[in-house]
Structure 1
């Protein structure tokens, strides 16, 4: 169809206005009255028939209304009928979150497809993990295909957030099955939690359905520690089928890891007075060996490992110096030299870094002042791209990745230490607030272990602290766990052999040589060993 030029559109608008004005004229040519709630509206049959299939059938087949001058619209209240008539004559209709369902109902009843399309467009703009279950139900009820596709895509991509909604507990069994069958894999802990919540919402009718839902889980990709929680769930341990599935998964996981060499080493890079150093520490032998020096001196830097490559990002020449844009990479298979990679978009020190999919994400940091800006590095294309800014400026914060979401914890915004935390969804390109820390802190270390994020040490007020908090992404809650043996500001941390190692830092008097290890089963910290030299403001990665 050829596009309509402006003059035609102006003529159509002028004609529509004439017809609308005619409805209130003393010599009106209207040939029908619609009545609702005691209110009457003059209209033209021909206009209604052109826009609405409902009215076209009414006046073209043998219905009693075809021969009546007044048609009672008992199913549409008069305020809503006025809104529909306004659209028929002007093409304009008010759609809000408050009246959207009413407009959809009226559009469905009067069979005005274009109004349904407008409602669908309105809803497409507001789809979120919080409302996608409810909007999916609307899409099914009113046959809104675009909205149905978007809500189902949202459910698949953001399943962890979706199951936390109250709407999830009220779904029918077939809907729960559909969502589970079409979710993105990799969030099995959240799936299990959601299934249990759904069953417990109506146990009398749903308990027998649990085993069918449980069988949809891939237990082999769950964290080992979480499997203990699965076993302790009453719905599991009272069901022979569930116990057999759990035992089979455990056996499969043991076979998968049989003979695997578990990492017992970590690399420590940069730091105050160790700006060019790169050292491997073996946590079993407590021995150290040197790797090639960095091309540039770096303290207050950050580091990640991708495959056999270690990346060191930003930092500064010395404490108090200007930040670097530059980054370097060492291939652990060759261990010959550090190689420069493309510079970041902006220089940063005290920033955070994590790996998701094929990207290195860098968050915040300081460039004259704390920043909220973030960027990501495409490892294959060797290019940096800007991503959405955090909700808060922050440096000296913690970071962790859990199920393809990036978490930023605490830090310093240039005026105060932060308790606020936020989470980045790379699929939706959105940052969202999560539960705050119990105590604001910066200069902390952070790691992920057993599906929980740990915020370790740092500074509170003007002193280094030994306190540690643990965050459960599934419940969105922080809790206090055992404290470090020694207060530490700007320590380094990583997970080696399913244990957290916290390295060096500042205790308000000295830079520290000691390394602590955390056993999450017993919730106990202990001194693992001491390094030959103190380390402060360095970066650590497990290998």
Structure 2
């Protein structure tokens, strides 16, 4: 039976007459609304409990409804007396909040009916969250059905990246097995929405995917998306959900810059060229800019010059040069400073290292490496800089690894690699250092992993093809 049919027409007319018998005031934001206490108790468990137990409101003529804005309270009272209320997708959550707070079960029931009618691909994630919050089982079932039916479209909506990891896993389980490619795309999009907090969840989320159900074309696309230019001695950085690749030894690519959006990994986008040709240089991201340091010119001169790229206006500008020309060096960001490690200056292999303050624009020399090295891999883990492998001043390939703590200001040796590696590639994944390939007289396929807690390197796996001089980022 509709709620308003339970209420005598007398009370509805009486409330609006100048001789009203209303005996209670509901107040919100200094607006007062006269009502009948017995009507409030009849329709709302909230008011029934208020006036049946020892609460101060039981003896006062005014109840302050601090949680409900005055216009919403007016609409709520109108519903209680007449059964009329306008519910839209925009005000639905407010009305549900008010119905839940005042324990108006009849209003919740009407909201449920409206929600069942509104469920669509565009809003099913949002309405699913409402259904969970307000225990609306029928709505929850219907939103789940919509997700299953339209999974590929659902993951494209902004609500998808706002899910917490538990809801994300629950939603992923609702898809049918023809949607694995959409699941992969959705997971990448979700992780890249907040990479600092979500990167470590990536592997576990991918374990929910059956890669056997993906098409060979899709697998090829996500694993071998091609650059616009061939590059040797290029460098790359990952910023949010985008990968930037710059420079490299090629007549066309030495100044060029490209960007791949990981949410739509179908095309590398060409960006403005660097100011100078560079190969075998360093790069990193800090303070909204991609910095490139040193490298080798098209005339085989080793460079001390540096420049930076603003990722918001897509413009390059020069910054102060390093103290020393260097190529095949390491460039990293650690504790809000930029560091350039080792390398080659055109005459000798370097042990020198420099620190750059991006705020003052000043370079300073820091403690040198224990062992001069070029073609090293360089990463930062737990606030420490690691200089990995490379080639020594006698031309020998190195397996040694050094670690620099900026707070202490000196380099110390840690465990050596299993294999000497010149011009290998490295990145950090889940608090471990991974080193890929390299050269020790021949190109290597092995990948080593380092755990700082145990100070041990182990062989993680073998790659299908050997690589050296590649640039890698962790996604």
User: Which range, TM-score by smaller chain?
Assistant: 0.5 to 0.7
2:439 equivalent in structure 1:
506
Higher relative contact order structure (alpha carbons within 8 Å, sequence separation ≥ 6): 1
Q: Please list every run of 5 or more consecutive structure 1 residues that lacks an aligned counterpart in the other structure.
A: 1-255, 266-279, 282-286
User: Offset at 1:433?
Assistant: 0.4
1:486 equivalent in structure 2:
419
Distance in structure 1 (CA, Å) of the matches to 2:414 and 2:444: 22
Distance in structure 2 (CA, Å) of the matches to 1:259 and 1:442: 34
Asked if 1:352 corresponds to 2:282, the answer is: yes
Judge conservation of contact 1:378–1:384 (CA < 8 Å) in 2.
Answer: yes
Asked if 1:262 corresponds to 2:201, the answer is: yes
Q: 1:139-218 counterparts in 2 under 5 A?
A: none
User: Offset at 1:400?
Assistant: 1.1
Judge conservation of contact 1:264–1:497 (CA < 8 Å) in 2.
Answer: no
Using structure 2 for the length normalisation, give the TM-score.
0.54
Deviations 1:457-493 (A, max 9, x none): 0000212110000000001110000000000000000
Asked if 1:420 corresponds to 2:352, the answer is: yes
Asked if 1:467 corresponds to 2:404, the answer is: no
Judge conservation of contact 1:514–1:527 (CA < 8 Å) in 2.
Answer: yes
User: Offset at 1:300?
Assistant: 1.1
2:61 equivalent in structure 1:
none
2:471 equivalent in structure 1:
539
1:393 equivalent in structure 2:
325
User: Offset at 1:403?
Assistant: 2.0
Deviations 1:410-442 (A, max 9, x none): 000000000000000011100000000001100
Determine helix, strand or coil for the equivalent of 2:466. Answer: strand
Structure 1 residues 309 and 436: CA distance shift in structure 2, 3 A: same
User: Offset at 1:288?
Assistant: 11
Q: Please list every run of 5 or more consecutive structure 2 residues that lacks an aligned counterpart in the other structure.
A: 1-194, 205-217
1:306 equivalent in structure 2:
239
Judge conservation of contact 1:263–1:496 (CA < 8 Å) in 2.
Answer: no
Distance in structure 1 (CA, Å) of the matches to 2:375 and 2:306: 19
Distance in structure 1 (CA, Å) of the matches to 2:199 and 2:382: 19
User: Offset at 1:264?
Assistant: 4.5
> Cα RMSD between the aligned structures?
2.4
Structure 1 residues 468 and 322: CA distance shift in structure 2, 3 A: farther
Asked if 1:292 corresponds to 2:191, the answer is: no
Structure 1 residues 301 and 453: CA distance shift in structure 2, 3 A: same
User: Offset at 1:290?
Assistant: 1.5
Determine helix, strand or coil for the equivalent of 1:484. Answer: coil
Deviations 1:248-279 (A, max 9, x none): xxxxxxxx9998753449xxxxxxxxxxxxxx
Judge conservation of contact 1:369–1:414 (CA < 8 Å) in 2.
Answer: yes
1:382 equivalent in structure 2:
314
1:450 equivalent in structure 2:
382
Deviations 1:80-99 (A, max 9, x none): xxxxxxxxxxxxxxxxxxxx
Distance in structure 1 (CA, Å) of the matches to 2:415 and 2:406: 19
Distance in structure 2 (CA, Å) of the matches to 1:258 and 1:420: 35
Deviations 1:276-307 (A, max 9, x none): xxxx99xxxxx995231111001211100001
Distance in structure 2 (CA, Å) of the matches to 1:259 and 1:404: 22
Structure 1 residues 380 and 504: CA distance shift in structure 2, 3 A: same
Determine helix, strand or coil for the equivalent of 2:304. Answer: coil
User: Offset at 1:357?
Assistant: 1.6
Judge conservation of contact 2:428–2:434 (CA < 8 Å) in 1.
Answer: yes
Distance in structure 1 (CA, Å) of the matches to 2:260 and 2:318: 24
Structure 1 residues 489 and 524: CA distance shift in structure 2, 3 A: same
2:159 equivalent in structure 1:
none
User: Offset at 1:327?
Assistant: 1.1
Distance in structure 2 (CA, Å) of the matches to 1:438 and 1:358: 33
User: Offset at 1:379?
Assistant: 0.3
Runs of 4+ off more than 2 Å: 256-265
